[in-house]
Chain A
Amino acid sequence: SAVISQKPSRDICQRGTSLTIQCQVDSQVTMMFWYRQQPGQSLTLIATANQGSEATYESGFVIDKFPISRPNLTFSTLTVSNMSPEDSSIYLCSVEKQGAPGELFFGEGSRLTVL
Protein backbone atom coordinates (compact mmCIF):
# COMPACT_ATOMS: atom_id res chain seq x y z
CA SER A 1 0.00 0.00 0.00
CA ALA A 2 0.97 3.64 -0.29
CA VAL A 3 0.53 6.35 2.31
CA ILE A 4 -0.30 9.75 0.86
CA SER A 5 -0.14 12.97 2.84
CA GLN A 6 -1.78 16.15 1.62
CA LYS A 7 -1.45 19.66 2.93
CA PRO A 8 -3.42 21.71 3.71
CA SER A 9 -6.34 19.54 4.75
CA ARG A 10 -8.63 22.53 4.45
CA ASP A 11 -8.42 26.24 3.81
CA ILE A 12 -10.62 29.27 3.31
CA CYS A 13 -9.40 31.55 0.55
CA GLN A 14 -10.31 34.90 -0.89
CA ARG A 15 -11.43 35.36 -4.46
CA GLY A 16 -8.54 36.12 -6.81
CA THR A 17 -5.84 34.49 -4.71
CA SER A 18 -3.95 31.28 -5.42
CA LEU A 19 -3.31 28.27 -3.21
CA THR A 20 -0.82 25.46 -3.55
CA ILE A 21 -1.65 21.95 -2.36
CA GLN A 22 1.17 19.58 -1.53
CA CYS A 23 1.12 15.80 -1.93
CA GLN A 24 3.78 13.53 -0.43
CA VAL A 25 3.88 9.76 -1.06
CA ASP A 26 5.84 7.32 1.09
CA SER A 27 7.21 5.44 -1.93
CA GLN A 28 8.50 6.28 -5.39
CA VAL A 29 5.81 6.33 -8.07
CA THR A 30 5.82 7.11 -11.75
CA MET A 31 2.46 8.83 -12.08
CA MET A 32 0.57 10.95 -9.61
CA PHE A 33 -3.02 11.97 -10.26
CA TRP A 34 -4.89 15.07 -9.17
CA TYR A 35 -8.68 14.84 -8.83
CA ARG A 36 -11.41 17.32 -8.01
CA GLN A 37 -14.55 16.35 -6.10
CA GLN A 38 -17.25 19.00 -6.18
CA PRO A 39 -20.41 18.68 -4.10
CA GLY A 40 -22.90 16.39 -5.79
CA GLN A 41 -20.53 15.69 -8.66
CA SER A 42 -18.37 12.76 -9.61
CA LEU A 43 -14.69 12.57 -8.87
CA THR A 44 -13.01 14.18 -11.89
CA LEU A 45 -9.42 13.81 -13.05
CA ILE A 46 -7.67 17.17 -13.44
CA ALA A 47 -4.27 16.02 -14.61
CA THR A 48 -1.60 13.36 -14.45
CA ALA A 49 1.81 14.38 -13.17
CA ASN A 50 4.91 12.52 -14.36
CA GLN A 51 8.32 13.22 -12.92
CA GLY A 52 10.55 15.01 -15.38
CA SER A 53 7.87 16.03 -17.84
CA GLU A 54 4.93 18.38 -18.07
CA ALA A 55 1.66 17.29 -16.59
CA THR A 56 -1.06 15.95 -18.88
CA TYR A 57 -4.32 17.82 -18.42
CA GLU A 58 -7.83 16.49 -19.00
CA SER A 59 -10.41 18.26 -21.10
CA GLY A 60 -11.70 21.34 -19.31
CA PHE A 61 -8.57 21.88 -17.22
CA VAL A 62 -5.66 24.12 -18.25
CA ILE A 63 -2.16 24.64 -16.98
CA ASP A 64 -2.63 28.37 -16.35
CA LYS A 65 -5.43 27.65 -13.91
CA PHE A 66 -4.00 24.48 -12.34
CA PRO A 67 -0.20 24.51 -12.62
CA ILE A 68 1.40 21.31 -11.36
CA SER A 69 4.93 20.58 -10.26
CA ARG A 70 6.54 17.14 -9.96
CA PRO A 71 10.12 17.67 -8.78
CA ASN A 72 10.77 14.05 -7.77
CA LEU A 73 9.20 10.60 -7.57
CA THR A 74 7.51 11.14 -4.19
CA PHE A 75 6.18 14.69 -4.31
CA SER A 76 3.83 16.87 -6.33
CA THR A 77 2.02 20.16 -5.96
CA LEU A 78 -1.19 21.47 -7.49
CA THR A 79 -1.85 25.20 -7.52
CA VAL A 80 -5.35 26.57 -7.92
CA SER A 81 -4.82 30.00 -9.44
CA ASN A 82 -6.94 33.15 -9.39
CA MET A 83 -9.62 31.37 -7.41
CA SER A 84 -13.35 32.00 -7.67
CA PRO A 85 -16.18 30.50 -5.59
CA GLU A 86 -16.64 27.88 -8.33
CA ASP A 87 -13.25 26.46 -7.34
CA SER A 88 -14.59 25.52 -3.91
CA SER A 89 -14.08 21.80 -3.86
CA ILE A 90 -12.12 18.91 -2.46
CA TYR A 91 -8.86 18.28 -4.28
CA LEU A 92 -7.39 14.79 -4.02
CA CYS A 93 -4.00 13.38 -4.85
CA SER A 94 -3.70 9.74 -5.81
CA VAL A 95 -1.23 7.12 -7.03
CA GLU A 96 -1.75 3.79 -8.68
CA LYS A 97 -0.84 0.50 -7.06
CA GLN A 98 2.09 -1.00 -8.93
CA GLY A 99 0.93 -3.76 -11.24
CA ALA A 100 -2.76 -3.04 -10.64
CA PRO A 101 -4.10 -0.55 -13.19
CA GLY A 102 -7.06 1.39 -11.85
CA GLU A 103 -6.42 0.47 -8.23
CA LEU A 104 -5.68 3.84 -6.68
CA PHE A 105 -4.55 5.04 -3.30
CA PHE A 106 -5.88 8.46 -2.34
CA GLY A 107 -4.83 11.13 0.06
CA GLU A 108 -7.41 12.46 2.47
CA GLY A 109 -8.02 15.49 0.31
CA SER A 110 -7.75 19.24 0.62
CA ARG A 111 -11.07 21.03 1.13
CA LEU A 112 -10.96 24.54 -0.31
CA THR A 113 -13.61 27.16 0.28
CA VAL A 114 -13.37 30.33 -1.80
CA LEU A 115 -15.24 33.38 -0.55
Chain B
Amino acid sequence: EDQVTQSPEALRLQEGESSSLNCSYTVSGLRGLFWYRQDPGKGPEFLFTLYSAGEEKEKERLKATLTKKESFLHITAPKPEDSATYLCAVQEGSNYKLTFGKGTLLTVNP
Protein backbone atom coordinates (compact mmCIF):
# COMPACT_ATOMS: atom_id res chain seq x y z
CA GLU B 1 0.00 0.00 0.00
CA ASP B 2 1.34 3.41 -0.98
CA GLN B 3 2.05 5.71 1.93
CA VAL B 4 1.32 8.81 -0.14
CA THR B 5 -1.48 8.93 -2.71
CA GLN B 6 -2.17 11.93 -4.88
CA SER B 7 -5.37 12.61 -6.82
CA PRO B 8 -6.30 13.25 -9.46
CA GLU B 9 -3.42 11.96 -11.59
CA ALA B 10 -4.11 14.72 -14.10
CA LEU B 11 -6.25 17.84 -14.01
CA ARG B 12 -7.07 20.18 -16.82
CA LEU B 13 -8.46 23.63 -15.96
CA GLN B 14 -9.40 26.73 -17.81
CA GLU B 15 -7.59 29.89 -16.83
CA GLY B 16 -9.37 31.35 -13.80
CA GLU B 17 -11.07 28.07 -12.86
CA SER B 18 -10.16 27.33 -9.24
CA SER B 19 -9.68 23.78 -7.99
CA SER B 20 -7.85 21.60 -5.47
CA LEU B 21 -5.32 18.79 -5.57
CA ASN B 22 -5.38 16.09 -2.92
CA CYS B 23 -2.61 14.26 -1.09
CA SER B 24 -3.61 11.53 1.34
CA TYR B 25 -1.07 9.80 3.56
CA THR B 26 -0.99 6.83 5.89
CA VAL B 27 2.24 7.34 7.82
CA SER B 28 2.11 7.54 11.58
CA GLY B 29 4.03 10.19 13.43
CA LEU B 30 4.03 12.75 10.64
CA ARG B 31 7.04 15.00 10.93
CA GLY B 32 6.22 17.16 7.94
CA LEU B 33 4.28 17.24 4.69
CA PHE B 34 5.84 18.94 1.71
CA TRP B 35 4.58 20.24 -1.62
CA TYR B 36 6.85 20.59 -4.63
CA ARG B 37 6.30 21.82 -8.16
CA GLN B 38 8.07 20.17 -11.10
CA ASP B 39 8.25 21.64 -14.59
CA PRO B 40 9.08 19.41 -17.58
CA GLY B 41 12.80 18.68 -17.81
CA LYS B 42 13.50 20.25 -14.42
CA GLY B 43 14.01 19.05 -10.89
CA PRO B 44 11.28 19.59 -8.29
CA GLU B 45 11.05 23.02 -6.69
CA PHE B 46 10.00 23.40 -3.07
CA LEU B 47 6.70 25.15 -2.35
CA PHE B 48 5.47 24.50 1.21
CA THR B 49 6.04 22.61 4.43
CA LEU B 50 3.14 21.79 6.76
CA TYR B 51 3.74 20.33 10.19
CA SER B 52 0.44 19.93 12.00
CA ALA B 53 -3.28 19.52 11.33
CA GLY B 54 -5.00 22.83 10.77
CA GLU B 55 -1.92 24.53 9.43
CA GLU B 56 -2.19 26.55 6.21
CA LYS B 57 0.44 28.14 3.98
CA GLU B 58 -0.08 30.49 1.02
CA LYS B 59 1.99 31.64 -1.89
CA GLU B 60 0.48 33.71 -4.67
CA ARG B 61 -2.41 31.64 -6.09
CA LEU B 62 -1.57 28.54 -4.07
CA LYS B 63 -2.74 27.59 -0.60
CA ALA B 64 -1.81 24.35 1.13
CA THR B 65 -3.80 22.92 4.03
CA LEU B 66 -3.28 19.89 6.26
CA THR B 67 -5.54 17.52 8.20
CA LYS B 68 -4.60 14.36 10.07
CA LYS B 69 -5.04 12.25 6.94
CA GLU B 70 -4.60 14.48 3.95
CA SER B 71 -3.42 17.74 2.49
CA PHE B 72 -4.97 19.91 -0.16
CA LEU B 73 -3.29 22.28 -2.54
CA HIS B 74 -5.86 24.87 -3.53
CA ILE B 75 -5.26 26.81 -6.72
CA THR B 76 -7.23 30.04 -7.03
CA ALA B 77 -7.80 31.61 -10.45
CA PRO B 78 -4.95 29.66 -12.04
CA LYS B 79 -2.91 30.95 -14.94
CA PRO B 80 -1.23 28.95 -17.73
CA GLU B 81 2.12 29.41 -15.97
CA ASP B 82 0.77 27.33 -13.08
CA SER B 83 0.85 24.30 -15.38
CA ALA B 84 3.24 21.76 -13.87
CA THR B 85 3.34 18.50 -11.96
CA TYR B 86 2.68 19.01 -8.26
CA LEU B 87 4.34 16.52 -5.91
CA CYS B 88 3.46 15.79 -2.32
CA ALA B 89 5.92 14.17 0.09
CA VAL B 90 5.91 13.16 3.76
CA GLN B 91 8.60 12.83 6.36
CA GLU B 92 7.90 10.37 9.16
CA GLY B 93 9.14 10.38 12.73
CA SER B 94 12.88 10.80 13.11
CA ASN B 95 13.56 9.62 9.57
CA TYR B 96 14.94 12.35 7.31
CA LYS B 97 13.82 10.45 4.21
CA LEU B 98 11.03 11.93 2.08
CA THR B 99 8.38 9.61 0.63
CA PHE B 100 6.83 11.11 -2.49
CA GLY B 101 3.50 10.58 -4.17
CA LYS B 102 3.26 10.10 -7.93
CA GLY B 103 2.14 13.67 -8.49
CA THR B 104 -0.71 15.49 -10.18
CA LEU B 105 -0.14 16.87 -13.66
CA LEU B 106 -1.94 20.21 -13.83
CA THR B 107 -2.63 21.84 -17.17
CA VAL B 108 -4.16 25.32 -17.27
CA ASN B 109 -5.49 26.36 -20.65
CA PRO B 110 -5.68 30.03 -21.64
Contact = CB atoms under 8 A, between A and B. Distances in A.
B53 interface: no
**Size class of the B contact interface (CB-based, 8 Å):** 20 to 34
* Chain B contact residues: helix, strand, loop or mixed: strand
Contacts, number: 58
A109 B42 contact: yes
* Chain A contact residues: helix, strand, loop or mixed: loop
B91 to A, nearest CB: 5
Contacts of A4: 43
Nearest to B88: A42
A92 B100 CA distance: 14
B87 interface: yes
Given A40-B102, A42-B4, A106 B97 contact: no
Interface of A: 4, 31, 40-45, 48, 58, 92, 94, 96-97, 100-109
